[in-house]
Structure 1
Amino acid sequence: MSKLAALEDLLVQYHQLNYHQDPVLKVRLFEAQYWLKQRIQESHQDLFRRSENQRMAQYFMNRLYGGPEFDDLSLQIERLLKYAHKAEKIIPANAIQTGLKSVQLAVLAMQLDEQVAVQLLKDYPADQTIDNEMMRLTLIKLDQEQTRLQQLDLLDELGGYLDKYMRSFMLHTAFKMCKAVASKYRFELMYDFIGEGFIAMKPMKSTAQFLQHFTAKERQIVYAVHAGQANPFCGE
Structure 2
Amino acid sequence: MSALSELQNHLTRYWALPYHQDAALESKLVEVQAWQRARIQRTHNELFEQPKNRPMADYFLTQLYGGGEFKLLAKQLERILPKAKKLERLAKETVLETGSLAIQAAILAIELDMHLAEWLLAQELPVNEENMLAAYQAVDEAGERRTQINNLKDVCYRTDKYLNSFMLKKVFALAKNTAYSHNFQPMYDFIDAGFKAMKPLDSVGGFIEPFCKRELLIIDQIHAPANKGNVSAFAVS
Residues 152 and 215 of structure 1 are in contact (CA less than 8 Å); yes or no, is this contact kept in structure 2?
A: yes
- Cα 1:153–1:220 change in 2 (3 A) is same
**Within-5 A mapping of 1:112-151:** 112-125=112-125, 128=126, 130-151=127-148
Query: Of residues 152, 158, 161 in structure 1, which corresponds to 2:158?
Result: 161
- CA shift at 1:203, angstroms? 0.4
Distance 1:151 1:50 in 2: 25
Distance 2:155 2:218 in 1: 21
Equivalence for 1:233? 234
- Cα 1:2–1:145 change in 2 (3 A) is closer
Q: Identity over the aligned pairs, expressed in percent?
A: 38
- CA shift at 1:232, angstroms? 0.7
Alignment length, in residue pairs?
233
Equivalence for 2:69? 69
Deviations 1:70-120 (A, max 9, x none): 111111111221321344456554432221121111100111011000000
Distance 1:199 1:90 in 2: 24
Residues 80 and 87 of structure 1 are in contact (CA less than 8 Å); yes or no, is this contact kept in structure 2?
A: no
Equivalence for 2:183? 186
Greater than 4 Å deviation, 4+ residue runs: 86-92
* Backbone CA RMSD of aligned residues: 1.7
The farther-off stretch of 84-93 and 26-35 is 84-93
Residues 162 and 207 of structure 1 are in contact (CA less than 8 Å); yes or no, is this contact kept in structure 2?
A: no
Q: Report SS of the residue matched to 1:85.
A: coil
Equivalence for 1:173? 170
Extract unaligned runs of 5+ from structure 2: none
- CA shift at 1:207, angstroms? 1.8
Residues 149 and 219 of structure 1 are in contact (CA less than 8 Å); yes or no, is this contact kept in structure 2?
A: yes
- Amino acid aligned to 2:108: L
Equivalence for 1:205? 202
- Amino acid aligned to 2:233: P
Residues 152 and 219 of structure 1 are in contact (CA less than 8 Å); yes or no, is this contact kept in structure 2?
A: yes
Equivalence for 1:81? 81
- CA shift at 1:184, angstroms? 4.1
Residues 8 and 81 of structure 1 are in contact (CA less than 8 Å); yes or no, is this contact kept in structure 2?
A: yes
- Amino acid aligned to 2:219: V
Distance 1:183 1:83 in 2: 18
- Amino acid aligned to 1:210: F
- Cα 1:72–1:34 change in 2 (3 A) is same
Extract unaligned runs of 5+ from structure 1: none
Residues 3 and 100 of structure 2 are in contact (CA less than 8 Å); yes or no, is this contact kept in structure 1?
A: no
Distance 2:85 2:177 in 1: 18
Work out whether 1:15 is the aligned partner of 2:12.
Answer: no
Q: Report SS of the residue matched to 2:133.
A: helix
- Cα 1:175–1:93 change in 2 (3 A) is farther
